[in-house]
Structure 1
Amino acid sequence: MELFIVIMAGGVGSRFWPRSKERKPKQLIRIFGENTMIQDTVKRLNGLVENKNIYVITNRLQKLRIKEQLPDIPEENIIDEPFGKNTAACIGLASIIIKQKNPEAVTIVLPSDHLIKNEEEFQKCLLNSAKFAYESRGLVTIGIKPTRPETGYGYIQFDEKEIENNIHKVLTFAEKPNLSTAIRFIESGDFLWNSGIFIWRVDVILDELKKYLPEHYEGLLKIESAINTNDFESQLTQVYGQLRSISIDYGVMEKADNVYVTKADFYWNDVGSWEAVYEVSEKNEDGNVIIGDVYSEKTYNSYIFSPRKFTAVIGAENLIIINTNDALLICNRNYAQDVRQVVDYLKMNNRTDLI
């Protein structure tokens, strides 16, 4: 069994504005510690696979920075999509490229911008899932035991009967629920958060794409025929322009009958907003997370980031304050998900200098 890693790194991180921009989004900035999020994603794979078996799928705006941040990953393994077409296209593209190396390879598909702790358990979970995926020809995903009725995550309902070594059959996938539905999911005890991590054989996922997304599959065959030729870039651009934008969850996982889930024994957070960053960051005695040149007085339970400008905050509570060279965000923590609306506004008003 040969393992390959596919890191999906094409997102723009609009909920992390103004630090996250199209050319330098969430996965390429330092949010926790000295490394960027994509550097931490690669670092936690140490010892699991060689660097030559790690592929990064990104876009043309971000490719250069990714090459700079991941100098040990072969340059030819950093693949740029001509257009963002969601995860089904991204995974299909990676699969046909890896198929050239080993058509029975097991690929582990990871987002580039999640926070994961306890790397030993993480690797153990991946290896166990990979072994099962290789032998069973199943599609495996990793589920996270919920700690609260979260409305920002998708959910996976699983059969409590264990097939083998913490592998369970998936019964249903559920989209992001409202609060009452999320509470019901938690109380039932047979729902997990959907981590967005997948493990499968290359030949199996391509068969599933052929079955459930035949237009994608036909396009992938055209791209595959041009691999290692001078026509690859033009064929890739032409095919991608015609592909429907659809997620692998909706396009394949919700329809396939050979889908399994393993329950994670490691800490996971998708760090989907500034509120999530606040939640997992170390706080001072006033409940504040302060980064940079900041004076605070009678200020509580806030996240304040201002490394390059002196910022004074007095009599504030429950705020996110992000002060960069060219923009200032002040947001109630309860509305952190709405930061993406600022990016939409800037796009509509052609303020490309700020995005």
Structure 2
Amino acid sequence: MSLASPFTAPAAPHAPANDHVGVEAMFRQIMDVVQKSTLEISDLRQECAELRLANQNLERQIREGFQNGNHLGTPGFTTPSPGSPQLRSKSPFLTPSSAPALAVPPSVQVTSPQREHGLTSFPFHPIREIPGFFVVIPAGGAGTRLWPLSRENHPKFLLDVTLQGRSLIQATWDRLIPLSGPNRTAVVAGPAHVKSIHEQLPDLLPSLLFCEPGPKDSMAAIGLAAAILVNRDPEAVIGSFAADHMISGDDAFLSAVSEAVQVARKDYLVTIGIAPSHPSTGFGYVRLGDKLGMAEAPNARLVSSFKEKPDARTAAAYIATGNYRWNAGMFVTKAKFLMSLLHEYKPELGEGLTKIAAVWDDETARQKVLEEVWPGLEKIAIDNAVAEPAALEGRVAVVPATFGWDDVGDFSSLAELLPAEANQPRILGDSRLVLTDQVAGGIVVPGSGRLVACLGVDDLVIVDMPDTLLVTTRARSQEVKKLVKKCKEQGWRSLL
């Protein structure tokens, strides 16, 4: 007696025998496909587990090598402190300066297939200022991907997210002061942050803090500084460096900037290209073009093109060629050359900024013109406004560099910058307030002062503030800005 298969539907009373066989064959094919898919999924899971383990081992080796002084690339030197006091704040976002040292990944030199010996060493003397060079630090944005750690009135550039006792903007100031000195270091910021910036940067001259009435993206911010500075020094070379980026390998960074200044003096808009450490989908890319052949800037090349944030496969293809660098948004150029590009590609924006700059040093007239002109200015990034069209005409150059860089764009990238034991979560704050068991990866911010206890959860993001608790995963940390939008829509404005 044969047993009926549980997967075989009973035959209809008058169904022909061949139909019964056809149904069995169909179900057999379906089960074969399901079994094959199950095996493939199992293989993928195993492969992912092996990759995670390999990444953890590599991360531990890099961290241990860095802590033991074994730098894989050009080691950074400690830039002279400009005399600003250590950050002291009642904010729970900031930790004492006695916190453990930050384990920053070392800079890695990547050799491009286009060059046999990688980057050429560029001589740099750290105590030498560059005559006529002005640093511009745009300090804008609310850092919504780091909410609720970062808030509109206290954005990430004001926070000590590196456990070093210095905020990101203070670290940026410290890094660039050797090149420009306090007399040629400017900050562009919104009115809500002016007071905090002055407190954190007491050596910043009032005449070099340019307050923009409202956010208009990077072109208006950098263009405003360029328009003002070109009136004060027609031959000024400016370098724009975001206030909220992390950099390791200061000597390699300053050498790249010095080289970029040499290229900028030849009437180029110059960007600094970061050697990619992985196929990131969160950064834009710069495609390297022909060498410029400048003796004073041996590594400089033309920019072939700018690429928007790619998908993972495209990013991997970019890196495989060796011809691409991350676009970190660092630009060096003559102030008057930038304004000429702006007048050419975005004439209304250029004219508006020129009109504002003409009366900037007259406070009464400045306020009146700002009220008239600023609201109508186009909101656009410098890349889209001038860099991309100018690159098509061969007027944009790139200096490939080897220093470590991160824009600290979400909690996942922030976690990578913090020290931790192997397979343990990273902690930003008082580690005594975090209790874990069988917890791997992730990041915990114990900002409320109460105990945060975690059991058997991996790769979580837990941000416990006095007024808000955020729980997500590292994989979804880029999406935190969606919650900020929902907070606005549902009336939680006070928490932003």
> TM (normalized to structure 1)?
0.97
Aligned to 1:248: 382
The answer to whether structure 1 residue 274 and structure 2 residue 408 are counterparts is no
Aligned to 2:465: 324
Aligned to 1:310: 451
Aligned to 1:59: 190
For 2:455, give the aligned amino acid.
I
Shift of 1:144: 0.8
Whole-Å separation in 1 of the counterparts to 2:365 and 2:481: 37
Shift of 1:70: 0.6
Aligned to 2:303: 170
Residue 177 of structure 2 contacts residue 185 of structure 2 at CA under 8 Å; is this kept in 1? Answer: no
For 1:167, give the aligned amino acid.
A
Residue 160 of structure 1 contacts residue 190 of structure 1 at CA under 8 Å; is this kept in 2? Answer: no
Shift of 1:218: 1.2
Q: Note the residue ranges of structure 2 that are not aligned, 5 or more in a row.
A: 1-130
Whole-Å separation in 2 of the counterparts to 1:87 and 1:106: 18
1:142-188 Cα deviation digits (max 9, x unpaired): 00111211100000001153533110000100111111211221122
Q: How many equivalent pairs are there?
A: 354
Aligned to 2:158: 28
Aligned to 2:145: 15
The answer to whether structure 1 residue 295 and structure 2 residue 295 are counterparts is no
Whole-Å separation in 2 of the counterparts to 1:19 and 1:151: 24
For 1:294, give the aligned amino acid.
V
Residue 291 of structure 2 contacts residue 299 of structure 2 at CA under 8 Å; is this kept in 1? Answer: no
Residue 6 of structure 1 contacts residue 57 of structure 1 at CA under 8 Å; is this kept in 2? Answer: yes
Q: Relative to total residues, which structure has the larger strand share, 1 or 2?
A: 1
Whole-Å separation in 1 of the counterparts to 2:355 and 2:292: 40
The answer to whether structure 1 residue 161 and structure 2 residue 291 are counterparts is yes
Whole-Å separation in 2 of the counterparts to 1:162 and 1:231: 44
Shift of 1:231: 1.1
1:261 aligns to what SS in structure 2? strand
Whole-Å separation in 1 of the counterparts to 2:210 and 2:347: 23
Residue 228 of structure 2 contacts residue 358 of structure 2 at CA under 8 Å; is this kept in 1? Answer: no
Whole-Å separation in 1 of the counterparts to 2:460 and 2:293: 46
The answer to whether structure 1 residue 148 and structure 2 residue 278 are counterparts is yes
1:231 aligns to what SS in structure 2? helix
Whole-Å separation in 1 of the counterparts to 2:147 and 2:335: 36
2:450 aligns to what SS in structure 1? strand
Whole-Å separation in 2 of the counterparts to 1:44 and 1:237: 35
The answer to whether structure 1 residue 262 and structure 2 residue 399 are counterparts is yes
2:389 aligns to what SS in structure 1? coil
Aligned to 1:127: 258
The answer to whether structure 1 residue 223 and structure 2 residue 327 are counterparts is no
Whole-Å separation in 2 of the counterparts to 1:71 and 1:206: 30
Runs of 4+ residues deviating >4 angstroms: none
Once the two structures are overlaid, the 10-residue window that deviates more, 329-338 or 286-295, is 286-295
Percent identical: 32
For 1:169, give the aligned amino acid.
L
Whole-Å separation in 2 of the counterparts to 1:11 and 1:278: 21
Q: Note the residue ranges of structure 1 that are not aligned, 5 or more in a row.
A: none
Residue 152 of structure 1 contacts residue 176 of structure 1 at CA under 8 Å; is this kept in 2? Answer: yes
Shift of 1:224: 2.3
Higher relative contact order (CA 8 A, sep 6+): 1
Match of 1:90 among 214, 221, 225: 221
Residue 8 of structure 1 contacts residue 90 of structure 1 at CA under 8 Å; is this kept in 2? Answer: yes
For 2:135, give the aligned amino acid.
I
Shift of 1:267: 1.1
Whole-Å separation in 1 of the counterparts to 2:140 and 2:383: 17
1:100 aligns to what SS in structure 2? helix
Match of 1:346 among 470, 480, 487: 487
Match of 1:283 among 400, 420, 441: 420
For 2:300, give the aligned amino acid.
I
> TM (normalized to structure 2)?
0.70
Whole-Å separation in 2 of the counterparts to 1:204 and 1:43: 27
Whole-Å separation in 2 of the counterparts to 1:201 and 1:167: 16
For 1:273, give the aligned amino acid.
D
Whole-Å separation in 2 of the counterparts to 1:180 and 1:294: 38
2:157 aligns to what SS in structure 1? helix
1:314-341 Cα deviation digits (max 9, x unpaired): 1110111111111111111001100111
Aligned to 2:168: 37
Whole-Å separation in 1 of the counterparts to 2:381 and 2:458: 38
Once the two structures are overlaid, the 10-residue window that deviates more, 64-73 or 285-294, is 285-294
Judged with a 3 Å threshold, the aligned counterparts in structure 2 of structure 1 residues 132 and 289 are, in CA distance, closer, same or farther, namely: same
Bigger Rg over Cα: 2
Judged with a 3 Å threshold, the aligned counterparts in structure 2 of structure 1 residues 180 and 285 are, in CA distance, closer, same or farther, namely: closer
